[in-house]
Amino acid sequence: MTTPMNRRTFGRLAAAPVLLGALSGLPAAPAHAAQAPARPAPAPSATRGAARAMRRAAVFMDEQVSYRGGYVWSYLPDLSATWGEMEARRTMCWVQPPGTPTVGHSLLDAYHATGDEAFYRAAERTGLALVAAQLPIGGWNYIHDFAGEGALRQWYDTIGANGWRLEEFQHFYGNATFDDAGTSTAAQLILRLYVERRHPAFKAALNRVIDFMLRAQLRGGPADGGWPQRFPAFSGSVGETPWPDDRPSWLPDDVGHGMEDGDYTRHVTFNDDVLGENIKFLLMCAATLGRRDLNRPVLRAMACLHRLQQPGPQAGWGLQHLAHAVKNGRPAGAPAGARSYEPRALTTHTTQTNVRQLFHYFRLTGDHAFLRRVPEAIAWLESCPLTGEQKGENPLLKNSTHPTFVELGTNRARFVHRFGSNIRNGAYYYDHDHRNTLSHYSGGRSIDVAGLRSTYEELMAMSRPEVAELRARSPLTPGSPYELPRYFGIRDLELTDLFRDAELTLPVVTDAQADALVTELGAKDHWITPIGTTTNPYRGPAPRTPYDGTAYMSKHVGDMHDTSPYNPADPPAEPPYQPTESAQGITTSAFTGNMAKLVAYVADR
């Protein structure tokens, strides 16, 4: 359950080298005449240098960096150490963006821009890696280990179990997740590859993931149409976190702590726009495959988001909402707590995201009911900004407009902190103190209230013919199948990018910018960039020895037993930590970002 604050590449300076995978994609099936995009014309002479550079970079990533076509997030140049959101083994692939599917989308984008079969072969091989990583239930976990489940369990029991702040990796559940857009991003790549050439392996995988999404969709009650964070439910899921007996002398007695609503993996999840991402994928299938049977699940999901907006005056949403009533009397649909640093509360950034989703639902359906309560949500956001004192006394809040969490009932900001030095002697807690908040999970957010109000007013002012024109182009409207957008890596696609005849504007990339990327690639065929973070190696179970200090409260990592990633230039002020420069390496973020620029440059000519 990664937040925008910590979705990034990571690194550490130790791991065992493993043999590289080889380029071995299956032979391509014949192109499908009706729906496969037409092969682009060869790149003009003015762009051949850029196209050749793209090809060299893609082939290097495929043949030298990937493992069986799968990717993590970052690598030392000699591939002796690799990382996803945490330290990874060479045999692993990370499904969670910016991992395997993100690279696959970039490769397929490059094929669409150039027509070069080398890009398609690499994209196909990456897609087949995802087919191998797909769970029998049809979805994906955050990660997959080609060495087998035993190796993956061992990783969870060591590296994962000691990542203090990464609670989603501390236990192996064996089920699939909708969190962090892993399943939806992988599913989109499988769909793109299937419609390209109708490969039977992609058809089977696509059918499995569509069935998975439909089976996982909640049924009945206020939660009808939503999705849980993980599926199927796992009876051994963690529902509470330890509260150490030995706590710091300075810790107040009245703080809240723990998972307030138990196992969060079964709640309706809005965090990381789970519902919006699933709707996007189902609409892609409806549009390009003619699967009109998917319209109803999409409409149920839209209705769920609309229904779970809370009553005024706190007319927002939480990260998660109860799928079922609980013993303490809280009803289904009520905001719920999640990880131990995600207390039961309304969340301002989730509310902003959901209001923007309602705007899309109106555009898709023409139904003004989706806009009816938007002013209430905007009014609530206007009621709970950060104060000048809060921003002035906490540097981590100075660039934010609102607190992340707002307490139910009182409308007061709730802030999260932690004590201790590792997962065994420390814990997270929350109160109203705005100082010493977490660095890895922002206590504040930037909310564009004026922008939300402007868009609302613009949509409400639309004439009936304008609304009818939108509905006619909506992927929910019956009609013949049509192609997906050609490029997925230029920017995050919105639901409105799926409208018939929607134009995806390419960014302007100058000759000088393209030349700089080609020069930076050089003869080595890969881009080198600072990895940005590091991790401590696994040293065995963390000690329970109490820690009374505060050095780790606002740092990404605890003591040397914590395997969580952190910025080596800004470590905790405790020995043996010393500020150091970031290691240089190969990252999927740099590769896909640079490729997106070159794709735009080549495709625009």
DSSP 503-570: --PPPP--HHHHHHHHHHHGGGTS--EE---B-PPP-SSPP-------TTTTSS--STT----B-TTS
The C-alpha R_g of the chain, in whole angstroms, comes to 24
Q: What integer pLDDT is reported at residue 1 of this predicted model?
A: 59
| Average model confidence (pLDDT) across the chain | 92
Query: 3-class DSSP state for residue 164?
Result: coil
For 86-139, the pLDDT digits (tens) are 999 999 999 999 999 999 999 999 999 999 999 999 999 999 999 999 999 999
Residue 300, both tokens: 């149920």
Q: What integer pLDDT is reported at residue 366 of this predicted model?
A: 98
Residue type, 87: E
Instruction: Give Cβ neighbours of residue 236 (< 8 Å, ≥ 6 apart).
Output: 171, 173
Model pTM? 0.92
Which element (helix H / strand E) includes 594? helix 588-603
Which runs of consecutive H residues, i.e. helices, occur in 271-418? 274-289, 295-307, 348-365, 374-383, 388-393
**Measured CA distances, 117 to 38, 58, 59, 122, 125 (Å):** 13, 11, 11, 9, 12
Residues 103, 94: Cα–Cα separation, whole Å: 11
Residue 306, both tokens: 């609309």
Residue 200, both tokens: 């039977």
pLDDT classification of 46: cutoffs 50, 70, 90 = low
Selection from 289, 237, 245 nearest residue 265 by Cα? 237
Residues 369, 24: Cα–Cα separation, whole Å: 52
Q: Is residue 14's pLDDT more than 50?
A: no
pLDDT classification of 44: cutoffs 50, 70, 90 = low
Q: What integer pLDDT is reported at residue 9 of this predicted model?
A: 31
pLDDT classification of 47: cutoffs 50, 70, 90 = confident
For 240-283, the pLDDT digits (tens) are 999 999 999 999 999 999 999 999 999 999 999 999 999 999 99
Q: Is residue 41's pLDDT more than 70?
A: no
Domain 45-603 in this protein, CATH class: mainly alpha
Q: What integer pLDDT is reported at residue 48 of this predicted model?
A: 87
Cβ neighbours of 248 (radius 10 Å) = 14
For 196-221, the pLDDT digits (tens) are 999 999 999 999 999 999 999 999 99
Contact 288, 191 (CB under 8 A): yes
Residues 128, 190: Cα–Cα separation, whole Å: 9
Which runs of consecutive H residues, i.e. helices, occur in 77-143? 100-114, 117-133
Q: Is residue 21's pLDDT more than 60?
A: no
Residues 146-174 have a mean pLDDT of 98
Q: Is residue 13's pLDDT more than 70?
A: no
Residues 374, 405: Cα–Cα separation, whole Å: 19
Q: Is the N-terminal amide bond of 576 cis, ω within 30° of 0?
A: yes
